[in-house]
């Protein structure tokens, strides 16, 4: 079974696989979340903890997920069923595939809505809407967008059509061609933005915000109370690093597994996983190097979180020289990051329909796209028609509930099960044959995937649901 190829095709090279997997990992969160949490939790010291977490959790589980995908050569659901049979294990392990496919489906339904905001802001930035705008004006622009369900529906629809068009064309003509252009374009846009940031006069301050070590903040939680900083001992920053290390690599949602099923036989899984993790982290750090000098140059608040993108940065772009051009570039960058992630989120479900229902890729993509689009309506209405308390469940809107279910429950559970299956159910002969590595390197992976990674994912899960 391990020698066969996927019926969907195969990446033409190791580089294309790395670009595709990196595109899956690099998303909207890389552009704002990682730089923001880095600055909030200790700068360079937090980065060091995060990199340790990537090494102990992210890379071993990514290696496992790629390995399972390449050995199964099918959609995640069918791969896990086939591998369970191969290892004489209970077929209930197919739940790993189902969980990943459903999580990707849920995430894309609301991810598309947020990506639609980025599309809308490309048009607004290009038309000069943000020129000379103040905080009140930006808030009005944002409220007018999210408060209008018809406008959100139009952008959501456009983004879904963009994503499904790529997926419908298949591995070589669709996914591969898209990442071949999208990822270099994304890197180029980031470099251009950093080049501009270097001329703001605040580049060094931005670097200090990102990289200056503050070990105290890694082990303490501090806040300003009555104008004074108060700190208490806390492991939260470490848990933040653990959680982001897991989520940033798109683990547990089937995307990496299905991309692994298209991976050439001679490609090294270990080296590929390390390079993908490196590129994903590099993009996040470079994004911070581009964003924070602009933020500081305009006297804005760097800890604005998600509001930094749509409610804070437009003020900076409206005030800076050539802000119309660079603002447009920035939101195009966001769209590219979202697009490369979206096509990976829906590929597992499309692959399953092709394999199990005999559909063409075009028809499968259309069905999955339409279903995802319909589910996305709930997220659209969460910001306007369904924003009242009478529409909330557990004090969460439809959007919040879907995000919580997918990100806090399904992804950690999927990642944990992948680690357990690869480490405890799959024989060492099977995994060793896929990795084609021996000695210390293989034994280190076995220790990490059997003991360290599962424990860390459990901690991530308990933190996400508020138990610790």
Q: Where are the domains of the chain?
A: 14-464
Give Cα 26 to chain centroid, integer Å: 5
The length of the chain in residues reads: 468
Those residues whose C-beta lies under 8 Å from the C-beta of residue 354, and which sit 6 or more positions away, are 7, 8, 75, 360, 361, 364
With beta carbons less than 8 A apart as the criterion, state whether 419 and 445 touch.
no
> Which tens digit of pLDDT belongs to each residue from 387-400?
999 999 989 999 99
d(CA 308, CA 320): 16
Q: How many CB atoms lie within 10 A of CB 1?
A: 12
What sections of 54-212 are H helices per DSSP?
A: 59-72, 76-86, 95-126, 135-146, 149-168, 170, 177-197, 203-211
Which one, of 71, 82, 413, 66, lies nearest residue 255 by Cα? 66
What is the model's pLDDT at position 225?
A: 63
Helix (H, G, I), strand (E, B) or coil at 264: coil
Q: How many CA atoms lie within 13 A of 91 on its CB side?
A: 5
Please name every residue paired with 71 in a beta bridge, in sequence order, or none if there are none: none
pTM of the model: 0.92
Residue 2's pLDDT is what? Answer: 43
Q: What are the CA-CA distances from residue 271 to residues 62, 274, 277, 316, 432 (Å)?
A: 11, 5, 10, 40, 15
Q: In which band, very low, low, confident or very high, does the pLDDT at 1 lie, cut at 50, 70 and 90?
A: very low
For 137, what's the count of Cα atoms within 13 Å in the CB-facing half-sphere?
14
Q: Are 188 and 283 contacting, i.e. CB atoms less than 8 angstroms apart?
A: no
* Distance of alpha carbon 59 from alpha carbon 275, whole angstroms: 10
Q: In percent, how much of the chain has pLDDT > 70?
A: 94
With contact defined as beta carbons under 8 Å apart, do 450 and 56 qualify? Answer: no
Class of the 14-464 domain?
Answer: mainly alpha
Mean pLDDT of 64-82: 97
Does residue 463 register a pLDDT over 50? yes
CA 212 to mean position of chain CA atoms: 26
Averaged pLDDT for residues 311-326: 88
Per-residue pLDDT, averaged over 315-326, amounts to 89
Any residues with CB less than 8 A from the CB of 178 and at least 6 apart, and which? 166, 339, 340, 343
Closest CA to 23 of 343, 247, 288: 343
């Amino acid at each position: 079974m391990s020698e066969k190829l996927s019926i969907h095709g195969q990446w033409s090279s190791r580089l294309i696989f790395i670009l595709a997997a990196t595109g899956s990992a690099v998303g909207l969160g890389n552009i704002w979340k990682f730089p923001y949490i880095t600055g909030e939790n200790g700068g360079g010291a937090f980065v060091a903890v995060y990199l340790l977490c990537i090494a102990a959790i992210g890379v071993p589980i990514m290696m496992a997920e790629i390995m399972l995908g390449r050995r199964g050569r099918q959609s995640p659901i069918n791969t896990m069923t086939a591998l369970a049979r191969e290892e004489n294990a209970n077929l209930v392990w197919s739940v790993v595939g189902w969980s990943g496919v459903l999580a990707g489906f849920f995430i894309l339904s609301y991810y598309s809505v947020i990506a639609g905001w980025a599309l809308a802001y490309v048009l607004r930035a290009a038309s000069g809407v943000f020129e000379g705008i103040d905080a009140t004006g930006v808030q009005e622009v944002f409220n007018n967008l999210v408060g209008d369900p018809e406008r959100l529906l139009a952008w959501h629809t456009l983004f879904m059509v963009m994503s499904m068009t790529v997926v419908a064309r298949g591995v070589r003509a669709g996914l591969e061609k898209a990442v071949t252009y999208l990822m270099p374009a994304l890197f180029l846009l980031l470099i251009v933005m950093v080049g501009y940031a270097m001329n703001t006069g605040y580049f060094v301050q931005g670097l200090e915000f990102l990289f200056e070590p503050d070990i105290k903040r890694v082990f303490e939680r501090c806040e300003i109370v009555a104008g004074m900083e108060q700190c208490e001992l806390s492991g939260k920053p470490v848990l933040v690093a653990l959680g982001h290390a897991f989520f940033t690599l798109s683990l547990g949602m089937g995307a990496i597994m299905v991309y692994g099923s298209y991976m050439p036989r001679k490609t090294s899984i270990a080296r590929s996983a390390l390079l993908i993790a490196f590129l994903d982290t590099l993009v996040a750090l470079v994004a911070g190097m581009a964003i924070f000098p602009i933020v500081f140059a305009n006297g804005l608040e760097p800890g604005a979180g998600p509001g930094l993108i749509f409610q804070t940065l437009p003020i900076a772009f409206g005030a800076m020289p050539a802000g119309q051009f660079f603002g447009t570039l920035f939101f195009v960058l966001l769209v590219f990051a979202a697009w490369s992630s979206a096509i990976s989120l829906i590929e597992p479900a499309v692959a399953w329909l092709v394999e199990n229902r005999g559909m063409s890729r075009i028809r499968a993509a259309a069905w999955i796209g339409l279903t995802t689009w319909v589910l996305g309506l709930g997220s659209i209405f969460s910001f306007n028609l369904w924003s009242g308390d009478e529409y909330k469940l557990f004090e969460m809107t439809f959007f919040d509930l879907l995000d919580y279910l997918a990100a806090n429950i399904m992804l950690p559970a999927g990642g944990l099960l992948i680690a357990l299956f690869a480490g405890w159910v799959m024989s060492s002969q099977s995994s060793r044959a896929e990795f084609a590595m021996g000695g210390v390197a293989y034994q280190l992976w076995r220790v990490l995937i059997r003991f360290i990674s599962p424990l860390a994912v459990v901690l991530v899960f308990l933190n996400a649901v508020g138990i610790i």
